[in-house]
Amino acid sequence: MSRIRARGNERTELAFARMLRAARLTGWRRHLTILLKGLRPGTAIASDGTRFLPKVRPDFVFPSAQLAVFVDGCFWHGCPRCYRSPKTQSAFWRTKVARNRERDIFQTRALRQRGWRVLRVRECALSVRRSPATLRRISKALGATATSA
């Protein structure tokens, strides 16, 4: 299962990287680890008791803009547009996807509290039809930093 997940992520991230290159957006790095220092006790624990790691590895980081981008697969992250519960083991998947979403929220919040700008891009936002709007979101986030610097 971990292999399926890794492959799915990779496909999504490669599609995003292609989109950035086509738009000539530079200054990004993949898989930079950001340590979440000074987490308050209790803030990093999911509702099922799972402890979130005090570090985050966004899919893409624009270090100079302090922008972190997560490219979320629609299944794993429970996209409200696309997610359909599998017919078998649906309780298992519901729990798993719910925990992923909790972790997404935790990581987004923890990064924002530390001064990061965070964008979460869903897999379905990489379609030909929707990618122009997605690129505008990225450019806007990058531009916002440039003007405030």
Give the footprint of Zn ion on this chain (CB under 5 A).
74, 79, 81-82, 122, 124
Q: Which is nearer to Zn ion, 52 or 134 (CB)?
A: 134
> Which helix H or strand E contains 68, and what residues bound it?
strand 67-72
Q: Which is nearer to Zn ion, 79 or 138 (CB)?
A: 79
Helix (H, G, I), strand (E, B) or coil at 19: helix
How near is the Cβ of 49 to Zn ion at its closest, in Å?
29
Those residues with Cβ within 8 angstroms of residue 55's Cβ, 6 or more apart along the chain or in another chain: 33, 34, 35, 36
How near is the Cβ of 121 to Zn ion at its closest, in Å?
10
Instruction: Tell me the C-alpha distance between 27 and 32, whole Å.
Output: 13
Angle among Cα 144, 147, 13 to the nearest 5 degrees reads 35
Phi-psi region of 13 (alpha: psi -120 to 50; beta: other; left: phi over 0): alpha
Q: Which is nearer to Zn ion, 60 or 122 (CB)?
A: 122
Q: Which is nearer to Zn ion, 60 or 75 (CB)?
A: 75
How near is the Cβ of 33 to Zn ion at its closest, in Å?
26
Instruction: Tell me the C-alpha distance between 33 and 57, whole Å.
Output: 4
How near is the Cβ of 77 to Zn ion at its closest, in Å?
8
